[in-house]
A and B are shown apart, each in its own frame.
Chain A
Amino acid sequence: MKTEDALAEAMSAHVADVHASPFLGGAVRRRRRAHILRFRTAGAALVTATVALGVPVYLNLIPGTNTAAPAQAVHETKVVVPNVEGLTPWQADNALKAVGLVAQPDGNATVATQNPRAGTQVDPGTVIQLTVNPMLPQELGDLGDGRKFGGIEIGYLPEGLKWREWSGKDRFGKDSYTTSFDDGVDSGAYSIQVIVRRGEAVKTIQHRRDAVAGKDWTKVKVHGQEGYLANFGEDGEPHKVGVYSEPGGGTHTIGWNENDNLAIEVMMGPYRVEKLSKDEISAELKRIADEIKVITN
């Protein structure tokens, strides 16, 4: 037997018992939601829970304790939605798992509302939306329109973008500042995020410098300084600007050092990227960068 034939046979035998889960579709869709709900996406968020199993049980939850009463059958093909309002997403996830529902927890938020309401009997596959009230970091206080923070002022933002009413300090190294803006349409997804690194935090940008070294196509000038504009994958590798630079998805980012003590990055969220052409993505990031004013050097 030829090696390639023997190898083909060995490969077939090796995976013969492998079959994709029938719940794969639900899992993929949950990931799509989860993808939007990363750190940078902090804000009032939608978490999706789907009925993964038609488990005929009734669950009585005591808010905050995450304990459940013994299950009782109520209907053969329905599941009863438990009350998860007021629980943390982790507690909600556990409670939902107990009846065969799955949620994707994110951060330290609590569930504000759920739809359908607790006690509703639903068909397997029904999507349950949980509105989360995240305890967002407010480390820079009330920023008003959010455009002035970390010693800079954002002069231009695309029309319709509003401050997401949160801010972070020291989250990207000591003496770093960040906040984001969204269009209020794609709930849970940021449209633009700005990170200001000063002093010690400037060092945390070195990996970007290393990643773009020798890649002339990433080069861009901002305020006369040499910067980079690319779609950075999860592994930090730069890809060409555009929605479909798969695999890796990535975050479209423009960054530059104003001076040795100040590095600024502007990032565009995945939903906004999908709405724009490659040229528009680049132009928008470039304009935001160009019109950032440095108040404190």
Chain B
Amino acid sequence: MTEEDETAFDEFLAARSTALLRTAILVCGATRHDAEDLVQNALEKVYRHWPRIRNDNPEAYARKVVVNAAISAARRRKIINEITFARPPETEAGSPDLDLRDTLINELRRLPARMRAVLVLRYWEDMSEAATATVLGCSAGTVKSQAARGLARIRDNMTEPEGAMR
């Protein structure tokens, strides 16, 4: 690892680590502390291969490692059992949107890890079906059906506000 590699890695972290951490929190449903641990572990793998991948879309590689690690973590239920979906402190309490958001996040949590990852990548990261499929190592058709089923489950389980969802 050259000095230039090290500097480039630091720049990569500065640009992408917050997004990766947020993705990890959403996909594995962990507390921030656990998600940080997961992201550090994933980034260690990115760092290990950095000289090779730095000029070859390291962001895609990092996202892939983080998302797959988050899915594994959620599946192992080591992290998901410790979930505390606390409201962000600066969010105004009592806002009607807040209840809706909380309910949505709770419904998201109840989905299987891989289905949750599809929804996070498609609708939060705003990735295409093809790009999501690449991250998850499945077909675009699977992404499409998982996204549709995930949204349907959330819709079905939402009890309020009546008629707010289409």
Contacts and interface: CB of A to CB of B under 8 A. Distances in A.
Contact of A17 (B26, B69, B88, B120): B88
A6 B104 contact: yes
Contacts of B46: 28
Nearest to A235: B72
B43 A28 contact: yes
Interface string B1-15: 000000001100100
Given A8-B124, A247-B45, 13 more contacts: A2-B166, A3-B158, A5-B123, A8-B126, A10-B100, A14-B88, A15-B25, A20-B13, A20-B21, A20-B36, A29-B47, A243-B49, A270-B48
Contacts of B36: 20-21, 24
A52 to B, nearest CB: 13
Nearest to B90: A17
B154 A19 contact: no
A244 interface: yes
B17 A14 contact: no
A7 interface: yes
Contacts, number: 122
B117 interface: no
B119 interface: yes
Given A20-B17, A235-B72, A14 B105 contact: yes
Helix, strand, loop or mixed for chain A's interface? helix
B40 A7 contact: no
A208 B44 CA distance: 26
A9 B101 contact: yes
A246 B154 contact: no
Interface residues of B, number: 53
Contacts of A18: 18, 21-22, 25, 32
Give the interface centre of A1, A2, A235, A246 by most chain B CB atoms within 10 Å.
Answer: A246
A179 B126 CA distance: 50
A151 B100 CA distance: 67
A184 to B, nearest CB: 19
Contact of A11 (B47, B91, B120, B164): B120
Interface residues on A, range: 35 or more
Interface string B84-123: 0100111100000000111011001000000000011011
Contact of B40 (A16, A24, A274): A24
29 contacts: A3-B154, A4-B119, A5-B123, A6-B100, A10-B100, A10-B101, A11-B26, A11-B120, A12-B124, A13-B88, A13-B91, A14-B25, A14-B26, A14-B85, A14-B105, A18-B25, A18-B32, A19-B18, A20-B39, A21-B36, A24-B13, A24-B17, A24-B40, A28-B13, A28-B44, A31-B40, A35-B44, A35-B48, A243-B49
A54 interface: no
A7 B22 contact: no
Contact of B9 (A5, A12, A13, A25): A25
B65 interface: yes
B41 interface: yes
A7 B119 contact: yes
B155 interface: yes
A256 to B, nearest CB: 28
Nearest to A233: B72
Contact of A246 (B26, B45, B120, B126): B45
B123 A28 contact: no
A79 B9 CA distance: 25
B120 A24 contact: no
Nearest to A18: B22
B13 A3 contact: no
Contacts of B104: 6-7, 10
